Amino acid sequence: MRNDMMHWLVALALTLGLIPAQAAIDAAIGSNKQLRVDSHHGHVVAQMTARAKRPLRVDASLAKEIGTAQAFFAVGKRAFVQDNATWLLIVTQAESRANHAAGACGSGTEDTLRLVEVDIAKARIVERSSLLLQSCLTGLSLNDDSGRSLQESLEAVPDPGHLRLDWLNHPDSGDRQRTLTIVGGTIKVG
């Protein structure tokens, strides 16, 4: 009876959006390795597979952002190497208002691009930089009339190391297409 009640409460919390559902990233690292980041009810686990699975520690702040996100995914579904480091661009989508609150942005999202270093030697992943891509709260949005979701568009990017974005009325960039580059472990908008 107690287990039935727990399952019912978890199902209700998932339905109401109080607990993020299970989500995962599968991203290629080089030609023979795969990185998998799983989130199940706020618990985040990362592992790399080649011939055998190898667990990776997830930086606490990154684990919190992924664990509380409504959704998360990897740009281009793969990592890239730059300046002798392995990088992954992860987008987290979080609620603009807690618990789908009513009013403006009640069901809106805050979409953040996160530059994550995959440190294979130290068996860890850590966020180095972030950039707000879209925000219901601030009226920031990308210009994409393809009809695809943000996830579909960014997962299809052929080269995540050279990402081009086009915002509508960005406070700094205006309406021009901008190229994001990685400089010293920081996302730069150029």
Instruction: Say how far residue 121 (Cα) sits from the centre of its chain.
Output: 23
Predicted confidence band of residue 12 (pLDDT cuts 50, 70, 90): very low
- Distance from C-alpha of 22 to C-alpha of 57, rounded to nearest angstrom: 19
Q: Where are the domains of the chain?
A: 2-189
Predicted confidence band of residue 106 (pLDDT cuts 50, 70, 90): low
Q: In the predicted model, what is the mean pLDDT of residues 68-92?
A: 93
* pLDDT for position 186: 94
26 membership: H or E segment, kind and range? strand 23-29
Whole-Å CA distances, 2 to 5, 6, 7, 13, 40: 5, 6, 9, 17, 21
Share of the chain above pLDDT 90, in %: 37
